[in-house]
A and B are shown apart, each in its own frame.
Chain A
Amino acid sequence: MQVKKGLVKTMIGADAIVRCLEEEGVKSVFGYPGVAIAPFYNSILDSKIESILVRTEQNAAHAASGYYRATGKVAVCAVTSGPGATNVITGIATAFADSIPLICITGQVNSELLGSDVFQEADITGAVESFVKYSYLVKDVIQLPRVIKEAFYIANTGRKGPVLIDIPIDVQNKEISKFEYPQEVNLRTYKPTVKGHSVQIKKVIKELEKAKKPIICVGGGVLLSDAQSVIREFVDKNQIPVVSTMMGIGVMPTKNPLYFGMVGNNGKPYANRAMNESDLIIMVGARVADRAISQPGLIIHNKVLVHIDVDSAEIGKNVGAHIPLVGDAKHIFDELLEYSVDENYQAWIETLNLYKHNMEPKRNPNPAFVDPAVLISRLSEKMDDDAIFVVDVGQNQMWACAYHIVKEGKFLTSGGMGTMGYSIPAAMGAKYGCKDKQVITMCGDGSFQMSMMELATMRQHHIQTKLIVLCNKVLGMVREYQHYTYHDRYSVVNLDGSPDLEYIAKAYGMTYIKMETMESAEEKMDAFLKSDQSVLMECLVDPMDLVR
């Protein structure tokens, strides 16, 4: 904006929001404009912050989630009032379920009209109450800097999560006489526990010394506290075997000799057996949720349970722990590392290796189609060591959990909420945040059609896309459920009418590769990975294939 010489441009609320985001080091905002957020999108033009126009608001939140998970930096989405705000709810709920921090700024109707059901008014702070860590409705422009400072702090500390800030348009337009970004947050009601209790930490060491068959079960909380390297160091030093939940995939490299796979009803049988036969379980940053541990009572039967979590309410929510330990995983394992455990678990590790060798599930792939298991394991071997693999929800996710080989990279998926359509926008956010890293996306043909519109966003903003679509013309996971539960009585799972992906790829300016069987699959994978273009690789998968 041109400011005439001699005139000092007065600062308004919208300018203040942008200044606050700059102070927080925000480089980009994912969002969708509208009248109620228009002052903000006008002010952002004067800033270096880049705006990325998603094609539907839900994907702004998913993109922010992917951005955070790839970079560790909290991302912002900004949408308008009413339908803009309500559209973003699923994305917020998805982030909340996996404790992913993000800031969502929603425009709101004029504060004097609040409550009168005017055009595009929605009570968004009320609607998202059970999906956010906290929310604000800012009615006084002078509060904006404090609120934004607090929002970033709340989102990214303790048990992380999304924070929503609802800002009426008149507040965005109101002059702010004095702008000062607070250096510190002063919240008398919010003091997250970081350091673990030293008595409890000593107890953990004591239990480890008593145990013959200990196991550590790592969850998504480990990645959120960036504790993966200290945990690797700890288990390597003391030779303790590890299993993970779905959100904990990536804490341990898949081929680490101490790692025994993912637990749960879609996990490895030997991982579950390891949990059942252990005499000491150390759960770290995991909720003991139903899909991971279907019978929580069993994991405290005949064994000692240590539960480490930054959120004290998670400890004892699903299962009572013998040793509760509240704190940040990284801090706690830094301290645990100081002690040496005087016990050797070699016999137990050998037993687990035997189970792993004997209990690997055997598949019967149909040679007329692509075998997703081989596709995923071969592809992940070929990926860069630090590649980010983003998968969606459904059979593609279960195959990825079972066969993806993590080296030093990351594995992103929607765990707690299981939101279809997550992968494409999340990968967009991840790639945008890490342009130098390989980001590979994989989804089914169902989830693809839930967020394919974002291919346009990626083209517009030159975000390279490497997308694999497993096509089987059905909603595979639901079909599989109906196969087992309703004895092949299929209801509403047929995806006939889906678009020809070759044309879709062309329409979005992407290179197209089609893999029909495993024949010449290796060459196609190489071409897919090596291309410097955006690529869509369609892989035909047997509609009757099962994950179990």
Chain B
Amino acid sequence: MKKIYSVLVENRSGVLCKVAGMFSRRCFNIDSLAVGETEDPDISCMTIVSSGNQRTLEQIEKQLNKKIDIIKVKTFDEIRSVSRELMLIKVKYTKNNRREIMEICEIMNASIVDMSKTQMTIQICDVPDKIALLINMFSNVNIVEVARTGTLALQKCGDNE
């Protein structure tokens, strides 16, 4: 099972370390982690995607709630949330496959944001499944490097209004 934890924390030094340390000490998985400031500069939001059985996922929430730097923990399933991940992928191209790469980008709603005579960087912002699909579609393409943000998620509008 997968679960998304949206964790509001005090924006202080060492807090990320405390939260990540708790996951590793208790043998919980972190599938993805994204951190950034919220509208209040004193508060950061961590979006953590984790997987495990029901009891583990429940323990993660309880252990997060115990951390004194954590203000609020919200959890939601993938279906009850809007989630996005940003990926930048740099590929080598030739004139033989340039057209094909551009077509894939068009279909996948990805855009080319940088290029040279031999390489191009493609940006995609989508749900994690689509990102995986794009990588899959490029299996015949020479990938130079990939950078991903990890999942960001918010609860669907209307769920807790």
A contact set with B: CB distance below 8 Å: 125-126, 129-130, 133-134, 137, 154, 159, 187-190, 311-313, 316-317, 320
Contacts and interface: CB of A to CB of B under 8 A. Distances in A.
B70 interface: yes
Contacts of B21: 129-130
A313 B18 contact: no
Given A129-B17, A129-B18, A316 B68 contact: no
B65 interface: yes
| Nearest 7 Cβ contacts at the A-B interface | A313-B62, A134-B68, A189-B71, A190-B68, A130-B25, A313-B63, A129-B21
B68 A133 contact: yes
Contact of B68 (A126, A137, A154, A311): A154
Nearest to A315: B62
Interface residues of B, number: 18
Nearest to B58: A316
A187 B68 contact: yes
Interface in B53-68: 55, 58-59, 62-63, 65-66, 68
Interface in B12-32: 14, 17-18, 21-22, 25
Contact of A313 (B25, B65, B68, B70): B65
A312 B65 contact: yes
Contacts of A316: 55, 58-59, 62
Given A126-B17, A129-B17, A130-B25, A317 B59 contact: yes
Contacts of A137: 14
A189 B66 contact: no
B14 A125 contact: yes
Contacts of A188: 71
A69 B16 CA distance: 34
A151 to B, nearest CB: 11
Interface of B: 10, 14, 17-18, 21-22, 25, 55, 58-59, 62-63, 65-66, 68-71
Given A129-B18, A130-B25, A312 B62 contact: yes
B27 to A, nearest CB: 13
Nearest to A159: B66
B8 to A, nearest CB: 9
A394 to B, nearest CB: 27
Contacts of A311: 66
A231 to B, nearest CB: 25
Contact of A189 (B22, B62, B70): B70
A282 to B, nearest CB: 21
Nearest to A313: B62
A463 B10 CA distance: 44
B17 A320 contact: no
A313 B55 CA distance: 11
A364 B77 CA distance: 60
Q: Taking each of A159, A189, A316, which has the highest tally of chain B beta carbons within 10 Å of its own beta carbon?
A: A189
29 contacts: A125-B14, A126-B14, A126-B17, A129-B17, A129-B18, A129-B21, A130-B22, A130-B25, A133-B68, A134-B68, A137-B14, A154-B68, A159-B66, A187-B68, A188-B71, A189-B10, A189-B68, A189-B69, A189-B70, A189-B71, A311-B66, A313-B59, A313-B65, A313-B66, A316-B55, A316-B59, A316-B62, A317-B59, A317-B62
Contacts of A125: 14
A235 to B, nearest CB: 29
A297 to B, nearest CB: 12
A96 to B, nearest CB: 12
A188 B40 CA distance: 14
A543 B66 CA distance: 45
A307 to B, nearest CB: 13
Nearest to A150: B68
A514 B28 CA distance: 53
Contacts of B22: 130
A312 B58 CA distance: 11
Contacts of A312: 62, 65
Contacts of A130: 21-22, 25
B74 to A, nearest CB: 14
A137 B68 CA distance: 15
B125 to A, nearest CB: 32
A130 B27 CA distance: 13
A138 B14 CA distance: 13
Nearest to B42: A188
A125 B14 CA distance: 9
Contacts of A187: 68
A311 B17 CA distance: 22
Nearest to A154: B68
Q: Taking each of B10, B18, B65, B71, which has the highest tally of chain A beta carbons within 10 Å of its own beta carbon?
A: B18
A134 B65 CA distance: 13
A126 B16 CA distance: 12
A142 to B, nearest CB: 16
Given A137-B14, A189-B10, 13 more contacts: A125-B14, A126-B17, A129-B17, A154-B68, A159-B66, A189-B68, A189-B70, A312-B65, A313-B65, A316-B58, A316-B59, A317-B62, A320-B55
Contacts of A313: 59, 62-63, 65-66
Nearest to B25: A130
Contacts of B58: 316
Contacts of B66: 159, 311, 313
Nearest to A163: B68
A316 B56 CA distance: 10
B44 to A, nearest CB: 13
Contacts of A189: 10, 68-71
Contacts of B55: 316, 320
Nearest to B69: A189
